[in-house]
Structure 1
Amino acid sequence: MISPAAQPDTLNSQDHRASVGCTLRVEQDEGWTKISMRSCADAVSHPPGGPDRPSFSETLESMQDRIVRISEDLREIENFYNIEGSPTRYARLSEFFKSELTALSAAPFESYSQDEKVDYILLKNFLRRSQRNLALDRAREAEFAPFVEPFAEPIREWCEIRQRQQADEVFDPQTLAGSLSTTSKAVAHCIAHVTKHSDEYSQGTGSRAARRISELRKHINETCNFYSGYHPSFDYWVAAPQATLNTALVGLEKQVRDAIIGGGDISTIIGEPIGRDGLLVELEAEMIPYSPKELLQIAEHEYTWCEREMKAAAAQLGYADWRDALEHVKNLYEPPATHTSFVRSLVTEGASYVKKHDLVTVPRVAEEAITITRIPPAKQRVSPFFLGGPRLQIAYPRAEMEHADKLMTLRGNNRHFSRATAFHEMIPGHRLQLYVGDRSRPYRARLFSTPFFVEGWALYWEMVFWDRGDFFTTPEDKIGSLFWRMHRCIRITFSLGFHLGSTSAEECVELLVERVGHERSTAEGEVRRSLNGSYPPLYQAGYMLGALQLAQLRREAVEAGDRRLPEKEFHDRILKANVMPLEMLRALLLEKELHEDFKPIWRFYGDV
């Protein structure tokens, strides 16, 4: 067991910087109180041992081992330097990405196999994307700096001292208590600033700021709790100012939510747009050589096809307006008593279909060991439909829900919507995808996850089943399938529009209600999940665009060329390749020539 050295009446901590003690500095600047500890505010230099270096010869490290090592090192760094917004964290991550890029450039690219070359390009792409996102994160930090930084800096410094636990950074509880007390006054100034200037900040900025305030409050409380009861004089000095600061931070977060975000109403949808620059970084990293404007045009083109097919299916049911036919289908929902067994039968149907037609390998355990759970009502606010993967999660109303909410959930998960969802989530969709991915090159999923591969694969199978002509045969089933495809078109429209700043969250909901025919509750859930920052910004666009990429790749690999692949082998090789941007998958399957300075060029949809 290793324990930090102890000194009477002092708190010990360490850092990789040469600093002695922590002196408190209070400055008055245009009415603001700024507190910092001079010796702890220096920029981070090199950690022990200098810049990142593998502990073994570069020439002996395979690309797979390199990716695994970088994945684990990055996890360790992010877990240790865990204070978001900290200059120390930014500097350490920046140094890590730079050093790994430098080391990667010395790797013998030309001697690699095709798989290794793909891994090299994927890793280089990941590291460069991470560098660019660091810069964008710092720019977004600056948006709320006026009412966060005045108190954030001293909090971060005390917390980082607690993390480092180095003997030459010594301070006593009395000094900490004085700093916390002064920091509380800075928080009060920030509350006044938010009250006066709230209309100068966007909801997205407010949302990020509120999250940061909450994180800082938890960090400083964790730091104080670490010492509480262990140092003889700690509670005597620190307990009261800690409680005062905690109350002040809670008050600031509430003021930000009330004045900038717009209150604590749980129905309010808060999004965090990343802007055009952020979208361009993401598109480059996803290897999509189309502009946001072109992607919006692709979405509209696909929507037009869907609407035409929807009108044809509606006419088969005797409806002149496809929306009326859709309402008819929504009311064909399974009653509560038989819903679970009905869903399980749909899962079995999808697996049986691909096995019958020899479309993809389905391992016995993948099909047999499927667990079914239910999504709690509170979570259904952001996940109003099925979720899949390791297990099948069903969205279905509970007894205590309001009657209108029950009906909306039942209608949103009707028989025919569910028929097109069950195999998407399970087999041959996400369940099979994750099952194989956990057993074949799992190291790629650690760093290279992309919705274009993950969600594109599941939606691609909806297209395959549709094109075969013998799965969606009734008008009701066709409407159920087309609903989802229209939904994925409008996901591109509203998510890109939101991040470009041209579409509000409320307008996103209206797009799903008016152009797709969503129940309002499910539309709100979709938008809330899409825009609240819990998913990557291109996640919703990845469904349709990824499916279109896979469909074009199938035409190139299975239906054309001299080296055509059997369909089952094509699908099996995709699963075994595991997660990556789809242009890289194309290069791997079609054995395209690769260069160290690879740039995406695949116009999978042609010219828009």
Structure 2
Amino acid sequence: MIKKSVLIVAAALTFFIGCKKDGAGVAPQQKDSTAFGAYEERFLDGLWKINPDLATQVGYHKYDSILIIPNADSRQKQLTFTRKTLDSLGNFDLNSLTDNGKIDYHLMENQMQYTQWGLQQEKAYEWDPSAYNVIGTFAFILNEKYEPLDKRLRNFYMKMLNIPVYYKEAEKQLKNPVAELTALAIDQHTGGVSVFESDFADSLKKTTIPQPEKQKMLDRAKLSADAIKGYAAWLKGMKNDHPRSFRLGKELYQDKFKYEVQSASTPQQIYNAAIERKKYLHKEMAKYSKQLWPKYFGKAAMPTDTLELIGKMIDTLSAKHVQPDEFQSAISAQIPKLTAFVKSKDLLYIDPSKPLVVRKEPAYMAGVAGASVTSPGPYDKTGNTYFNVGSLSGWPAAKAESYLREYNQYILQILCIHEAIPGHYTQLVYANKSPSLIKSILGNGAMIEGWAVYTEQMMLENGYGNNEPEMWLMWYKWNLRSVCNTIVDYSVHTGTMTKEQVVKMLTHEAFQQQAEADNKWKRVSVTSVQLTSYYSGYKEIIDLREAYKKKVGDKLFKLKDFNEKFLGYGSAPVKYISELMLKKK
């Protein structure tokens, strides 16, 4: 799950490897490229000053002690920064830049335009209470071992100074907020306040900071915790008779899609392609279900209705799953198996020196997605990469069973491919080697998610799961989820699709469990556009692979070369990578 705010590209930031710079060129081109590199450094320095939280999360720690107050003045500073950046970008001749520079140019330009649109048209700061949340950055400072603990805790202490003012200002900005986003903000702040109430104190005990100083720090942490709980209480008690609809609306949706997904296609075209993909998947799933029916049902009569047939087969296979208390350990056990398979098939290089830590999802991240990967920033290459797994602790038995049937023994493997190897985690390792900080920081979410979905198909195409029809059937079901994500997101935010219609489609046509369908409704009601990134990115990568294979010829095409060349262009929109990989020499 990738959540965007005004200038933060992703809450769980993702990073990729950048392409090698072109070697030759006439003198003016080389001069302009050199100047552009220096310009990028100045751009980032300005970005960190107005976005210290983003700086912290990408591993740049000069401004760790600063918390920006979210008010009209700080928004104006952001607008001024974007205008100056767009003006100065115009001084460069795009055609004189290297391929690497051209992509960086596009990413900076798009992000500045996206920021302006967010502040002037979308105005989420008026209706999204969850946009005001300091906990994630403070937890990062506390948990990541990038500097000595004493220094991190002192920065934590200084940064806390503005927390009470921060939340009082947040209360002033909100006008008729979205009810669903209000509930999300309440949950996240209530769940995450422990960072200040207990985690900070526990960390202080491990230091040699003098006791009088510790007491001052603890006193400020209490004030911070009170402010956070006070914000949650204020949200619970606020009078909001006419809340804004969570539906973004067609006009805002089209704009947000343009800036966030950066696809070569329009939202309508991606939606239309998803509708056709759903038909294809149903056809393939029916074929495998007919093949498997005798194995699981013997001579029992086969349903004549295609969706009923597929549903019965999936329901039978879904009974094979781990127990609730085994969910996280089962995921940990998958990682070495996936690594071994990728190596045996020579699909791409996996760096053995970069650890992947499977952990329980932190409370401040809860409420949207059950599994995610977070990576160290480009300035912090030695940090851990985490596979965050939602806990089923305390769930009612029926809800846990429904969830585990959704993430059965087949889907759990595909989930680990998507989130870990060779999906997000592998891509993140490549990313942290990137010479391009711009690509690392302003990465494209559709490319990121599209790569993860693409690797699922790539693994099965190369024999993962021994070509068992059960695994293929379940992957088609999983791929159908990405497809239906697009259909649901577009239909809900640009139309009037209701919860009942969403749940019916997801359970009847996408064969999802009730718990998964309910969670998807919750997710689409607190996010927009991001759900389309899985299918849109996947489709563009598959299309590119086929075009690239045609360009080089079947005999010369090597999958490993394609994969590593693709990742080598960084986290750029696939449309720009396609232009470079398919251009004539």
Shared fold (TM-score, shorter chain, > 0.5): yes
Counterpart in the other structure of 1:482:
476
Q: Secondary structure at the match of 2:388?
A: strand
Counterpart in the other structure of 2:546:
555
Q: Does 1:130 align with 2:103?
A: no
Q: Does 1:92 align with 2:86?
A: no
Equivalent residue letter for 1:523: A
- CA-CA distance at 1:344 after TM superposition: 3.6
Maintained 8 Å contact 1:271/1:532: no
- CA-CA distance at 1:132 after TM superposition: 2.2
Distance 2:231 2:362 in 1: 31
Counterpart in the other structure of 1:264:
none
Q: Secondary structure at the match of 2:461?
A: helix
Which of 390, 412, 426 does residue 432 from structure 1 map onto? 426
Distance 1:459 1:129 in 2: 26
Once the two structures are superposed, what CA deviation does each residue of 1:105-160 show, in whole Å capped at 9, x if it has no partner? 1124333222222222222222222222222134x66789xxxxxxxxxxxxxxxx
Distance 2:247 2:435 in 1: 33
Once the two structures are superposed, what CA deviation does each residue of 1:239-268 show, in whole Å capped at 9, x if it has no partner? xxxxxx99998886335467456xxxxxxx
Counterpart in the other structure of 2:459:
465
Q: Please give the residue correspondences for 1:158-557 in structure 2 after superposition, counting only pairs within 5 Å.
A: 203=179, 253-256=235-238, 259-260=241-242, 272-285=246-259, 286-318=261-293, 320=303, 321-335=309-323, 342-366=330-354, 369-375=355-361, 382-385=368-371, 390-395=385-390, 397-398=392-393, 400-441=394-435, 443-468=437-462, 471=465, 473-505=467-499, 507-533=501-527, 537-557=528-548
Gap regions ≥5 residues in structure 2: 1-30, 53-65, 129-158, 160-167, 191-226, 294-301, 304-308, 376-384
Query: Measured at CA, do residues 483 and 443 of structure 1 come closer, stay the same or move farther in structure 2, by a change above 3 Å?
Result: same
Maintained 8 Å contact 1:296/1:496: yes
Query: Measured at CA, do residues 60 and 383 of structure 1 come closer, stay the same or move farther in structure 2, by a change above 3 Å?
Result: closer
Q: Does 1:569 align with 2:561?
A: yes
Equivalent residue letter for 2:444: T
Distance 1:250 1:463 in 2: 43
Query: Measured at CA, do residues 387 and 78 of structure 1 come closer, stay the same or move farther in structure 2, by a change above 3 Å?
Result: closer
Which of 16, 33, 40 does residue 67 from structure 1 map onto? 40
Which of 84, 94, 97 does residue 112 from structure 1 map onto? 97
Query: Structure with the greater relative contact order (CA < 8 A, sep ≥ 6): 1 or 2?
Result: 2
The RMSD of aligned alpha carbons is: 4.1
Distance 1:288 1:131 in 2: 20
Which structure has the bigger radius of gyration?
Answer: 1
Equivalent residue letter for 2:77: R
Distance 2:233 2:356 in 1: 46
Counterpart in the other structure of 2:209:
none
Once the two structures are superposed, what CA deviation does each residue of 1:527-578 show, in whole Å capped at 9, x if it has no partner? 3234324xxx322111111011111111122343479653212211222322
Q: Secondary structure at the match of 1:283?
A: helix
Maintained 8 Å contact 2:357/2:386: yes
Taking structure 1 as the reference length, the TM-score comes to 0.63
Once the two structures are superposed, what CA deviation does each residue of 1:209-237 show, in whole Å capped at 9, x if it has no partner? 999xx9xxxxxxxxxxxxxxxxxxxxxxx
Query: Measured at CA, do residues 249 and 531 of structure 1 come closer, stay the same or move farther in structure 2, by a change above 3 Å?
Result: closer
Once the two structures are superposed, what CA deviation does each residue of 1:72-130 show, in whole Å capped at 9, x if it has no partner? 4223214579344x332332222211111111111243332222222222222222222
Query: Measured at CA, do residues 105 and 247 of structure 1 come closer, stay the same or move farther in structure 2, by a change above 3 Å?
Result: closer
Distance 1:202 1:473 in 2: 46
Query: Measured at CA, do residues 488 and 208 of structure 1 come closer, stay the same or move farther in structure 2, by a change above 3 Å?
Result: closer
Q: Secondary structure at the match of 1:439?
A: coil
Maintained 8 Å contact 1:329/1:479: no
Which of 563, 573, 581 does residue 589 from structure 1 map onto? 581
Counterpart in the other structure of 1:11:
none
Distance 2:479 2:78 in 1: 40
Counterpart in the other structure of 1:49:
none
Query: Measured at CA, do residues 339 and 59 of structure 1 come closer, stay the same or move farther in structure 2, by a change above 3 Å?
Result: closer
Q: Secondary structure at the match of 2:389?
A: strand
Equivalent residue letter for 1:305: Y
Distance 2:127 2:327 in 1: 48
Equivalent residue letter for 1:73: G
Equivalent residue letter for 2:335: V
Bigger drift between 123-132 and 425-434 goes to 123-132
Gap regions ≥5 residues in structure 1: 1-57, 145-162, 164-179, 215-244, 262-269, 594-608
Q: Secondary structure at the match of 2:356?
A: coil
Q: Percent identity among equivalent residues?
A: 17
Equivalent residue letter for 1:543: Y
Maintained 8 Å contact 2:246/2:525: yes
Distance 1:394 1:248 in 2: 29
Q: Secondary structure at the match of 1:521?
A: helix
Maintained 8 Å contact 1:358/1:568: yes
Distance 1:124 1:548 in 2: 25
Counterpart in the other structure of 2:60:
none
